[in-house]
Structure 1
Amino acid sequence: MRLEDIRKIIEESTNADWSHITCWGAGSGPTFHDRWEITQTGGDQYKWSLDIDSHSNTLVYRENVALTISWGIVAAKDVTPGWNTFIDDSPVDYQLGDVFWNGVLVDRYSLTSVDGGRVMLPVPKPVYEETDGKTSVARYEVTRRHRAFARLVHNAEPAEDFDQYYDRAGFVTVDNRP
């Protein structure tokens, strides 16, 4: 399977094409797609600890179970994006949205849950412009592929309207890039 074929499946599929497995909460178990981190704590004394973080959700493509999507591992904590103008504009965490083929990581997207967890949106790419010697963000761009991925993940469970939030965020959808 080619990466472009996988991306096309994700972009053109709907949630009915996927089986959702929730991997958080009492007795639900891990996704087995973990992030390991070694941390050093203490002042004059050193104490090393090994922290494990796991994705909290997985989608399995019903037509070919070799294709899975997992998301929930936090990549950045307490971010205050300039585009977050929702009612609950408190800092957010950026999450990893990973695509696996036969258990191998083949693609990755950045996601964030905003407005008090009401919607999962793609993390956009800021496009800058210079006016009168001052640089500012002209717009926030998201590829069609990234938008479709975020919509699929958001709609895995009943929630708020993705497209309405996406439009309110003011993102500009652009053609896919290689």
Structure 2
Amino acid sequence: MRLDELQTLIASSRPAEWRRIKLSGPTYRDRFGAWSSPADGTSGIDHDSHVEVAVYRSDIDLTVAYGMPESQHEHKLKFDWSENFPDSEIREISIADFFWRGSLVDRVNYVYVDGGRGIVPLGSGHQGLRITQYGLAVARLLSGIAEYDEFDRYYSSVPYELQD
């Protein structure tokens, strides 16, 4: 399968076509990063993991893992458009990783908004407002898989510019 075919399949899929693995436990989609401090001679390994995994019911070779922060380091994020939500703080940029037959084949950024009550896409450009139809479809899909009910309300509160 070609990447563009896979992206078309993902973008046209509905949340009901995915099986969300809800039970707490490891997702086996982890990230490790080494660090060291020459000043005091210490070192260690940081660990992060995706929080959720879903499997495409029609072809279990396709999975998505999501919920891992883009960066292992905390940042103070400020987006002007997030002021449209009662809880305007954006705590992190998250990533959704798509796997085909166990190999990472695509990655999309998104953010949790309104205190984690919703998901919206995050694209390029100033304030992350330049999004693609694919990025929009992925955020809508994740929102549905995660059982958030108000994607359209959150999405319409942000002045996105579709790029394709």
Q: TM-score, normalised by structure 2?
A: 0.89
State the AA in 2 paired with 1:142. I
Q: How does 1:114-133 map to 2 (within 5 A)?
A: 114-126=113-125
Would the aligned equivalents of 1:121 and 1:150 in 2 still touch at CA under 8 Å? yes
- Number of aligned residues: 160
Would the aligned equivalents of 2:90 and 2:112 in 1 still touch at CA under 8 Å? no
1:64 match: 59
1:54 match: 49
Q: Deviations over 1:24-50 (max 9, x none)?
A: xxxx22111111011224x84221111
RMSD value, Cα: 1.9
For structure 1, the 5+ residue unaligned runs are: 128-136
- Cα displacement (A) at 1:158: 2.4
Paired residue for 1:38, among 34, 38, 63? Answer: 34
Pair 1:92 & 2:91 matched:
yes
**Distance in 2 between the 1:21 and 1:50 partners?**
27
* Local SS of the residue matching 2:92: strand
Would the aligned equivalents of 2:82 and 2:113 in 1 still touch at CA under 8 Å? yes
1:9 match: 9
Is the strand fraction higher in 1 or 2?
1
For structure 2, the 5+ residue unaligned runs are: none
Would the aligned equivalents of 1:22 and 1:56 in 2 still touch at CA under 8 Å? no
Q: TM-score, normalised by structure 1?
A: 0.82
Pair 1:79 & 2:77 matched:
yes
Alpha carbons of structure 1 residues 96 and 157: separation in structure 2 relative to 1, 3 Å? closer
> Which structure has the greater CA radius of gyration?
1
State the AA in 2 paired with 1:40. S
Is the helix fraction higher in 1 or 2?
2
